[in-house]
Structure 1
Amino acid sequence: MTQSCEASFDTILPAQEPAKPVARWGAVFAMSLCAFIMVAAEFLPVSLLTLMANDLGVSEGAVGQGISISGLFALLTALSISPLAGSLNRRALLLGLTGVMVLSTLIVGFASSYTLYMLGRILVGVALGGFWSLSAAAAVRLVPIDKVPKALAIFNAGNALAMVIAAPMGSYLGAIVGWRGAFLCLAPLAALAFVWQWLALPSMAAEQRRKKLVDIFKHLKQVRILLGFSAVSLLFAGQFSLFTYIRPYLETATGVDSVTLSSILLLLGVAGFIGTTIINRFLQASLHLTLCIMPAILAFIAIMLIEFGGNLTAVVVLLGFWGLIATAAPVGWWAWVTRSMAQDSEAGGGLMVAFVQLAIGLGSTVGGIMFDHYGYQVSFSLSAALLLAAALSVLVLRALESDKD
Structure 2
Amino acid sequence: MKTSFEKSDKAHWSGIWALTLGVSGLMIAEFLPAGVLTPMASDLGITEGMAGQSVTATSVFAVLSSLSIAYLTRKYNRKDVLLLLSALLIISSGIAALTPNLPFLLFGRVLLGIALGGFWSMATAIAIRLVPTESVPKALSIIFGGASFSAVLAAPLGSYLGNIIGWRNVFLFAAAVGVIGFIWLFISLPSLKPKGEVKLRTILDVLKIPSFTPGLFAITLAFCGRFASITYLRPFLEQKTGLEGNSISVVFLAFDLSYFIGTLFATGMVKKNLRLTLFLPSIVLAICSIGLFFSGKILVPTVLLIVVLGAVFAPIPVSWSTWIAKTAPENTETAGGLYVAAVQFSAGIGAMLGGAIFDVSGPAGVFSLSSITWIFSAIVVLLFIKTPKYQNRGNEQLSIHV
Q: Same fold (TM over 0.5)?
A: yes
Alpha carbons of structure 1 residues 401 and 199: separation in structure 2 relative to 1, 3 Å = closer
* 1:250-276 residue CA offsets vs partner (Å, 9 max, x unmatched): 222211122211211121112112222
Which one of 62, 76, 88 corresponds to residue 74 of structure 1?
62
Which one of 190, 193, 204 corresponds to residue 205 of structure 1?
193
Which residue is equivalent to 2:19? 31
Which one of 97, 100, 123 corresponds to residue 85 of structure 2?
97
Work out whether residues 164 and 270 of structure 1, in 8 Å CA contact, stay in contact via their aligned partners in 2. Answer: no
Alpha carbons of structure 1 residues 377 and 43: separation in structure 2 relative to 1, 3 Å = closer
Alpha carbons of structure 1 residues 114 and 357: separation in structure 2 relative to 1, 3 Å = same
* 1:9-50 residue CA offsets vs partner (Å, 9 max, x unmatched): xxxxxxxxx763631000011111112211111111122122
* 1:311-365 residue CA offsets vs partner (Å, 9 max, x unmatched): 1100100000101122431111111111111110001111001111222222222
* 1:202-224 residue CA offsets vs partner (Å, 9 max, x unmatched): 12222342421x32133222331
Distance in 1, Cα, partners of 2:276 & 2:93:
41
* 1:88-114 residue CA offsets vs partner (Å, 9 max, x unmatched): 111111111001111111111121222
Which residue is equivalent to 1:167? 155
Distance in 2, Cα, partners of 1:369 & 1:322:
22
Work out whether residues 293 and 365 of structure 2, in 8 Å CA contact, stay in contact via their aligned partners in 1. Answer: no
Which one of 287, 295, 312 corresponds to residue 325 of structure 1?
312
Distance in 2, Cα, partners of 1:104 & 1:110:
10
User: Which consecutive aligned stretches of 4+ in structure 1 deviate over 6 angstroms post-superposition?
Assistant: none
Q: Alpha-carbon deviation of 1:402?
A: 9.3
Which one of 122, 137, 140 corresponds to residue 149 of structure 1?
137
Alpha carbons of structure 1 residues 240 and 169: separation in structure 2 relative to 1, 3 Å = closer
Q: Percent identity?
A: 37
Distance in 2, Cα, partners of 1:37 & 1:139:
17
Which residue is equivalent to 2:33? 45
Letter in 1 for 2:356: I
Work out whether residues 79 and 351 of structure 1, in 8 Å CA contact, stay in contact via their aligned partners in 2. Answer: yes
Alpha carbons of structure 1 residues 320 and 76: separation in structure 2 relative to 1, 3 Å = same
Letter in 1 for 2:109: R
Q: Alpha-carbon deviation of 1:144?
A: 0.8
Which residue is equivalent to 1:225? 212
Task: Give aligned pairs, total.
Answer: 385
Alpha carbons of structure 1 residues 19 and 377: separation in structure 2 relative to 1, 3 Å = closer
RMSD between superposed Cα atoms in Å: 2.0
Work out whether residues 160 and 273 of structure 1, in 8 Å CA contact, stay in contact via their aligned partners in 2. Answer: no
Which one of 101, 107, 127 corresponds to residue 139 of structure 1?
127
Distance in 2, Cα, partners of 1:182 & 1:376:
29
Distance in 1, Cα, partners of 2:361 & 2:34:
26
Segments of 5+ residues of structure 1 without an aligned counterpart are 1-17
Work out whether residues 81 and 130 of structure 1, in 8 Å CA contact, stay in contact via their aligned partners in 2. Answer: yes
When Rg is computed on C-alpha atoms for both structures, the one with the higher figure is: 1
Which residue is equivalent to 2:240? 253
Segments of 5+ residues of structure 2 without an aligned counterpart are 1-5, 391-402
Alpha carbons of structure 1 residues 342 and 289: separation in structure 2 relative to 1, 3 Å = same
Structure 1 residue 379 and structure 2 residue 360: aligned? Answer: no
* 1:171-207 residue CA offsets vs partner (Å, 9 max, x unmatched): 3432333222121122232112111111111122223
Which residue is equivalent to 1:301? 288
TM-score calculated relative to the size of structure 2: 0.90
Structure 1 residue 277 and structure 2 residue 249: aligned? Answer: no
Tell me which of the two structures has the higher relative contact order, counting C-alpha pairs closer than 8 angstroms and 6 or more residues apart.
2
Work out whether residues 78 and 353 of structure 1, in 8 Å CA contact, stay in contact via their aligned partners in 2. Answer: yes
Work out whether residues 157 and 277 of structure 1, in 8 Å CA contact, stay in contact via their aligned partners in 2. Answer: no
Which residue is equivalent to 1:7? none
Work out whether residues 231 and 393 of structure 1, in 8 Å CA contact, stay in contact via their aligned partners in 2. Answer: yes
TM-score calculated relative to the size of structure 1: 0.90
